[in-house]
Amino acid sequence: YARNFPILLPSETQAKRIKGLVERIIQFYKEGKLEQDIKNVDYEIDQEVYKLYGLTKEEIKFVEESLR
């Protein structure tokens, strides 16, 4: 499925938001933060990517179930 999936470029605002979240995860790993803190930020990144692609709730559910 991913082979036919388009690669979208985020807006400047979206790119900054995602970059900031990734930097938080990197910092959390360096600081030995709790796994739950990292999962929370990872969830935020997922939400930003879903917004970028304009996914519906049903599409998000499909993606998340496919990754389990």
Q: Is residue 2 part of a domain?
A: no
Gap between the Cα atoms of 14 and 18, Å rounded:
6
Domain holding 36, by residue range, is 10-66
57 lies in some domain: yes
pTM above 0.75, yes or no: no
pLDDT of residue 1: 52
**Distance separating the N- and C-terminal Cα atoms of the chain:** 16
Q: 55 lies in a domain?
A: yes
Number of domains in the chain: 1
- The pLDDT value given to residue 68: 81
Residue 2: predicted pLDDT: 58
The pLDDT tens digits along the chain (68 residues) read 556 778 888 999 999 999 999 999 999 888 888 888 888 999 999 999 999 999 999 999 999 998 88
